[in-house]
């Protein structure tokens, strides 16, 4: 089980995400008002709280949303889970579609720290069922592909 610690959006691409008090999650779209929502496989991004805290312990002064993540979640090391893992938080259902992403131009965090965790620790999901999310909501795994397939 995990807990959502922060929900972040950015209204324009290329700008840092900022925390919001709740999110309206739209099926096959993403979070209402987030510039990265759309009809594609990266509708919502997730990053583990523990991985952010480890990065902060190395001297990075980063706020939630700084890596471009929509959901900061305690309790999961997302990159260790298989693609196709399905999560549920309230009525919201997300399916993990991608682990990490290529960083085409180094972000400000990389320029300052010489590293950025989102390309290897962040994951992306599509929205199978919408609803409303709040910080503090539980998020659980409801289905996971068999790794022997």
Mean pLDDT (the chain, rounded) = 88
The residue-averaged pLDDT of 124-137 equals: 98
- pLDDT, residue 35, reads 95
- Give the pLDDT confidence of 48-93 residue by residue, as tens digits: 999 888 877 887 778 898 878 999 999 999 999 999 999 999 999 9
Instruction: Judge contact between 51 and 121, C-beta under 8 A.
Output: yes
Higher model confidence: residue 34 or residue 55? 34
- pLDDT, residue 117, reads 63
- pLDDT, residue 99, reads 92
Give the integer Cα–Cα distance in Å for 36 and 32: 10
- pLDDT, residue 148, reads 58
Domain ranges of the chain: 2-143
Fold for the domain defined by 2-143:
M1 Pyruvate Kinase; Domain 3 (2.40.33)
Residue 120 pLDDT greater than 80, yes or no: no
Give the integer Cα–Cα distance in Å for 46 and 80: 13
| 1-5, 78-82, 95-99, 108-112: the lowest-pLDDT one | 108-112
- pLDDT, residue 62, reads 81
- pLDDT, residue 60, reads 73
Residue 115 pLDDT greater than 70, yes or no: no
């Amino acid at each position: 089980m995990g807990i959502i610690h922060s929900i972040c959006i950015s209204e324009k691409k290329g700008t840092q995400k900022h925390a919001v008090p709740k999110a309206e999650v739209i099926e096959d779209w993403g979070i209402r008002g987030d510039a990265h929502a759309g009809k594609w496989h990266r509708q919502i991004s997730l990053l583990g709280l523990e991985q952010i805290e480890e990065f902060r312990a190395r001297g990075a002064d980063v706020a939630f949303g700084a890596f471009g993540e929509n959901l900061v979640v305690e309790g999961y090391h997302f990159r260790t889970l298989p693609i196709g893992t399905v999560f549920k938080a309230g009525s919201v259902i997300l399916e993990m579609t991608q682990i990490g992403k290529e960083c085409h131009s180094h972000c400000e965090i990389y320029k300052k720290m010489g590293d950025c965790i989102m390309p290897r620790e962040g994951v992306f999901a599509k929205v199978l069922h919408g609803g409303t999310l709040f910080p503090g909501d539980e998020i659980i795994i409801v289905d996971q592909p068999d790794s022997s397939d």
